[in-house]
Every structure is written in C-alpha cells, then in structure tokens.
Amino acid sequence: MADRTSKKSRPTAASRPATGSAAGRPGGTTGGPAATAKSAATARSAATGGGLPTGRSGRQSVAAARASSSSNNRTQMIIGGIAVALIVAVVIIGLVVNKKNSAVQGAGYGAAKASTATVANGVITVANGDPGHTIDLFEDALCPRCGEFEYQYGQQIARLTDQGNLKVNLRLLNFLDKGSASQNYSTRAAAALLAVATEAGDQPGLVLKFHTALFDPANQPKEGASADLSNAQLAQLATATGVPAPVVASIGSGKYVAAAATNAQASSAAVEAATGGVQTPTVLSGGKPLATNDVKWLTKLVG
C-alpha cells in the first residue's frame, strides 16, 4: 500500500523564492527602504555635481559675495578719503601762496614823510638825498592793476624813499583815456600829479601822498565806468591830501593837461623801447624791467 501512495515533498530552502528579490517587488528595486533612500541621495548628489548640498553651498557663496562687496566698499572709501584730503591740501596750499604773494609790503609805515619831488623833462622824480637805487614806475591812473600795485607796495616805496635808499621816477601814461567816461581821465589825473610835483614838490611827502590818493580804491574810477573824476573833484582830492590852495587851483583849471599828454607820449615810447610793449604797472631799473610778480622784488633790489 505504501508503495502505491506517493508523498508530497516540501519545497526546500533553496527552492523557495528569496524575500525581497527582484521577482518579489515591483519595479525591480533591491535593498528595501534603506537602499531606496540611499539611491535617492545618490541621485541628488549626482544632480548637484557630486558636491555639498545646495543649501550650504549657496550660503557660502552669498557670504563670500558679501565679504567681497564689503572689501570693495572699504577700498572705495579709503580712495575717496585720500582724494578729498589731497583736494583740501591743494586748496590750503593755494590760499597760503596767494596770501603770501598778495601781502602788503611795509605794512604799518603809512604815508611818505620826508621825500621831496622835482620835475625834469616831464619826469617826476621823488627822493630824499641821493639814493644808490633808482626805479622808473610806469602807471596809468585808470589802471586797476596799478591801484593794486600801489596798495601792495606803496608803503614800502614811501619808507625806502624817506630813508634815502630809493629814488623813484613817476611816469604816468594815458593809453587808457578811452576807457574812462570823460575819455581823458588818465591825462587829467597825470596833470594833477604834475601840478603838485611842479608847484609843491618841495613839501616833504606831499607828492607820494597825492599819488597814493589817486590810486586809492575809494577815489580811483573803474575802467569802463559811467563816471570818473572831474578836474574840480581832482582838486577836492588834492585839498583833502594837504595840497596848497594855489596848486589846487591849477588842478581845477587843467593847467598841466597839455604837458601831461606830451609827457605820457614820451613815457609810452620809453617803456615800449625797454619791454617791447606798453602795459602798466611796469618797473624798470637801469633800463631793464623788474619781475614784480615776485613779492620780494623791491627788497632784493635795495637789499
């Protein structure tokens, strides 16, 4: 009986399907959940180039950009600060140099006190004794630069002439007549100074005092202005300066206008021969022009 009945054999371990095999899970993925997570991470890594996670890398990039920007800003601020400092330095140096070049020489001396004047060949010579140094000063009574020259050097010239160290030949031109309202102011002002030198030049300091008054900004007309000083007003200015009444009358009447015009022509020819042109103020010494743009020109001449 036993021989006729067949027994069912149990499947062996080798014949049982392996758990989690490719045949047992859809999609053919092996390794279970852990393997799945690992595979996903690997995929993400591959997508980002195999580097660090995107979030961390982004934070580092932003931080680096901020550091670079901050460094650039600091550099720009430093450069800007240096530029400002240089500009300030240049301005300060310019102001110092300008102040030095425009400083009044002989400040505090005041008006001339001892020098007297003579007139020869139309030239007004101011001196005290027989100085060893002589300058020829060419000016036009309407010239604004001549007014500045008088303001800057007038007191120094007065002191040196009073001390007997300098002789000054005053030579007034009239090439700016057409720039005056009256069309002849330069000539008439020169005539007024000539009157004082001719009739009262022996009075100490008087000629240089009146010369200073003519170029004082309070009295000197402006070139191209609508008015200047009449002969009567020039006479009033002479009176205020201490010029004697008879000389004041000569100024008011225009007594020396013709002579002043002739003298101006001769002086124009002299300065043109020495410098090649006619401009004021011009200072000659020994027939040669002096560099009056150097504030110490007169100190260097006289010593």
Dump the DSSP string for 32-58.
HHHHHHHHHHHHHHHHTTTSS-HHHHH
What's the confidence (pLDDT) of residue 188? 98
Asked if residue 144 has pLDDT above 90, the reply is yes
**183 and 174 in contact (C-beta within 8 Å)?**
no
**pLDDT value of residue 63:** 67
Question: Residue 253: pLDDT above 70?
Answer: yes
pLDDT band at 1 (very low <50, low <70, confident <90, very high): very low
Residue 124 parent element (H or E)? strand 123-127
Look up the pTM and report it: 0.70
Confidence at residue 85, expressed as pLDDT on a 0 to 100 scale: 65
Confidence of residue 164 (pLDDT cuts 50, 70, 90): very high
Higher pLDDT, 74 or 128: 128
pLDDT tens digits for 63-85? 666 667 777 777 777 787 777 66
**Structural tokens at position 97:** 């140099």
Give the pLDDT of residue 67: 67
The fold of 116-302 is Glutaredoxin (3.40.30)
What is the pLDDT, as a whole number, of residue 17?
A: 39
Q: Is the peptide bond before 33 cis (omega within 30 degrees of 0)?
A: no
Per-residue confidence (pLDDT) for residue 84, from 0 to 100: 66
DSSP character at residue 166: -
Neighbours of 270 (CB within 10 A): 20
- Judging by beta carbons within 10 Å of its beta carbon (0-12, 13-18, 19+), is residue 242 exposed, middle or buried? middle
Does 125 have pLDDT greater than 90?
A: yes
What mean pLDDT value characterizes the chain? 83
